[in-house]
Amino acid sequence: MDYFVRHRTTYRYVQDVTQSWHLAHLRLRDTQHQSVTSSEVTMNLEPANLASRTDYFGNPVEWFAFDEPHTLLDILAESRVTVNRPPQRASRESLTHEEVRARLENPPDAEARDAVQYIFDSPMTGFESDIASYAIESFPPRRPILAGAAELMTRIHRDFRYDTTVTDATTPVDQVFEIRAGVCQDLAHVAIAAMRSLGLPARYVSGYLLTQPPPGKTRLLGADASHAWFSVWAPPFGWVDLDPTNDLIVGDAHVTSSWGRDYGDVAPVAGIILGGHDHVVDVGVDVIPA
């Protein structure tokens, strides 16, 4: 599928922002199943400094700064991308979760060594609640890791309510686990924390969903904003993406932007401002078949 992706972020400040510095994960990345044709980020202001680079996780990022007073900042990212549906994978053919855990104790290759970093707590997935007891129900002895992760995804979709009013970007995973509600970011964090509680690798994926589904298909939750899901390392298949918000294995209706340990690594726009006082942020997303 070929898509045109538009992501607009608008900041409106009550008072002048005298200076600001921002880091943006708004350009899409190439993946095994995704090819980016074009990606452009434009702003209503002329940056005093602007730099593009690749971050630690291989995501394209923009760093920019403004030194002129302003009460409005509008950032527009527009991309064209081709997404191919990943091949069907028989979950029973993945290694068992015990085998994956043993492989990571003495990683035999670069792919396994890379996966090791995703078994540890990160700032937004650290927990004190008994998430491990919740997770272990999906991982009885000798169960293939992909089968267990898929069941965990389905249970989170069933047990947690999608609710845009009860959390924000800083809500701890323990609170989400307690109230059993949140948005796609929160459900991904719960899944990642659950996997890591058992010493299993899981990473956070930020991206987008097809805005309008094909005729006869159900409209997916989270389609009007940036979306998020989690990915599990399931040899011999490598990384497999799972969407607990919609209870499905990620296919060609999902567009990948970035991945990391949690949301904090790949926030679409983050930054520091001087001044501004109160502000309002509006975000609009469209994913349109090209």
In tens, the pLDDT along 189-214 reads 999 999 999 999 999 999 999 866 66
pLDDT (mean) for 179-183: 97
Q: How far apart are CA 164 and CA 1, in angstroms?
A: 29
pLDDT for position 222:
52
- What angle, 0 to 180 degrees and rounded to 10, lies between the N-to-C axes of helices 97-105 and 145-159? 110
Phi, psi of 58 (to 5 degrees): 90, 10
- Give how far Cα 122 sits from Cα of 32, 193, 232, Å: 26, 9, 16
CA distance 247 to 253: 13
99 Rama sector, left if φ>0, alpha if ψ -120 to 50, beta otherwise: alpha
Share of the chain above pLDDT 70, in %: 95
For every residue of 116-174, DSSP letters joined together read: HGGGS--TTT---S-HHHHHHTT--TT-BHHHHHHHHHHHHHHHSEE-TTS--TT--HH
**In degrees to the nearest 10, what's the CA dihedral of 127, 129, 130, 132?**
-10
The domain segmentation of the chain, as residue ranges, is 2-83+267-289, 91-265
Confidence band, pLDDT 50/70/90 cuts, at residue 276: confident
184-197 and 145-159 helices, crossing angle to 10° = 140
- 91-265: which CATH topology? C8orf32 fold (3.10.620)
Backbone angles phi, psi at 131, to 5 degrees: -65, -30
Q: What is the pLDDT confidence band of residue 235, given thresholds at 50, 70 and 90?
A: very high
Distance of CA 273 to the CA centre of its chain: 25
The pLDDT score that the predictor gives to residue 221 is 57
Residue 91 pLDDT level (bands cut at 50, 70, 90): confident
**Average pLDDT taken over every residue of the chain:** 93
Q: Which CATH architecture describes the domain 2-83+267-289?
A: Sandwich (2.60)
